[in-house]
Amino acid sequence: MRVRSGVLAAWTSAWLAGEAAYDDVVARVTGDDEPHRITGLPGATAETPLGWALPVLRERSPEGVRAVLPVAGDPRGLPGPGPFTTAALEAGEAVVGRGLGLVPRITEHGSAADRTCSVLWTAYEVAEPAPDPLTVPEAEHDLTAATRDAASALAALDVASWRPEVAGELARVRRGVTPELPPGHDGRAVRLLASADRLAAVLDLARADAPGGAVTGAEARARDDALRPLAAAVRRARQAAYNAVPSRRR
């Protein structure tokens, strides 16, 4: 699943640094979606195109913005309690800059074979959040350890017998992913995001029950317990990768 807040944060920060074009930011964030809209933007009285948020972010947060991927129990990167924090936790993602936060609401349309998404972002006035100190090397280390532990746990649970394709996906974890990051983004972060995105797809497979309901409740709980640390490491790796400082700006 695309992390639209991560894409918006990375490309907006590149645009603010003069390393990406305005149209590229909008195009990359939109992808195959319908054109994104935003509501609640300071100075606007109605929904506007998402691109209208960029000048506001440049005025408010010229040094860049950050993606946050919070879950219940781990709100790191968010300010204190309030409407923005509540919305970000519900969405599982947000963009935060100095004094302004953006949260997407994603709506799917059509059939599984012909599905499109509309995305409405809501802007919130926010306090300055506490910095999230996780670095790319730390996130990379945590992801490697969590992958190793999860693979051992899943092997002990014989998950491959429930869903044989999981073993193949695990073997291909480092192949075939092109992260949606701007030119000049930190190379190590690009590689980390590729691994995290592939592992996110593996997690989706591993969480699914076997055909015919062959997985018992106890087996499903054991599987979820084994996967929970990996899911947290994937989420944190994505956040660190999207927020990494482009290498040529160092």
Instruction: In whole angstroms, give the CA distance from residue 21 to residue 15.
Output: 6
Most confident range (mean pLDDT) of 21-25, 124-128, 151-155 is: 21-25
| 48-57, 187-196, 208-217, 235-244: least confident range | 208-217
* pLDDT bucket at 140, cuts 50 / 70 / 90: very high
For residue 212, pLDDT over 70 is answered with no
Cβ contact 203:227 at 8 Å: yes
For residue 76, list its beta bridge partners: none
**What distance in Å separates the CA atoms of residue 12 and residue 21, rounded to the nearest whole number?**
9
* pLDDT exceeds 70 at position 210: no
Q: Which pair of structure tokens corresponds to residue 34?
A: 């319908």
pLDDT tens-place string over residues 167-207: 555 555 545 566 789 988 999 999 999 989 888 877 777 66
Q: What is the structure's pLDDT at 159?
A: 56
Residue spans of the domains in the chain: they are 4-125, 136-245
Q: What is the pLDDT of residue 193?
A: 94
Residues 52-87 as b or e (16 or more Cβ within 10 Å = b): ebbebbeeebeebbbbbbbeeeebbbbbeeeebbeb
104 DSSP β-pair partners: 121
Please report the pLDDT score of residue 38 as a whole number: 98
Higher pLDDT: 81 or 39? It is 39
Residue 92 scores a pLDDT above 90: yes
Average pLDDT over residues 228-249: 84
Query: What's the confidence (pLDDT) of residue 248?
Result: 44
Q: In the 8-state DSSP scheme, what is residue 49? A: E
Joined tokens for residue 89 = 């936790």
> Model confidence at 84, in pLDDT bands (50, 70, 90)?
very high
SS (H, E, C) 122-174: EEEECCCCCCCCCCHHHHHHHHHHHHHHHHHHHHHHCHHHHCCHHHHHHHCCC
Q: What is the pTM of this model?
A: 0.86
The set of residues, in sequence order, having a beta carbon less than 8 Å from that of 152 and lying 6+ positions away, is none
**Buried (b) or exposed (e) across 207-241, using 16+ Cβ within 10 A?**
eeeeeeeebeeebeebbeebbebbbbbbbbbbbbb
Can you list the pairs that 161-169 forms with residues at least 24 positions away whose Cβ atoms lie under 8 Å?
A: 162/209, 162/210, 162/214, 162/215, 162/219, 163/205, 163/206, 163/208, 163/210, 165/205, 166/202, 166/205, 166/206, 169/198, 169/201, 169/202, 169/205
* Ranges of H-type helices in the chain: 4-16, 22-30, 53-60, 83-91, 136-157, 159-162, 165-171, 187-207, 217-242
Tokens at 218, concatenated:
């106890």
The model's pLDDT over 16-36, given as tens digits with 9 standing for 90+, comes to 999 999 999 999 999 999 999
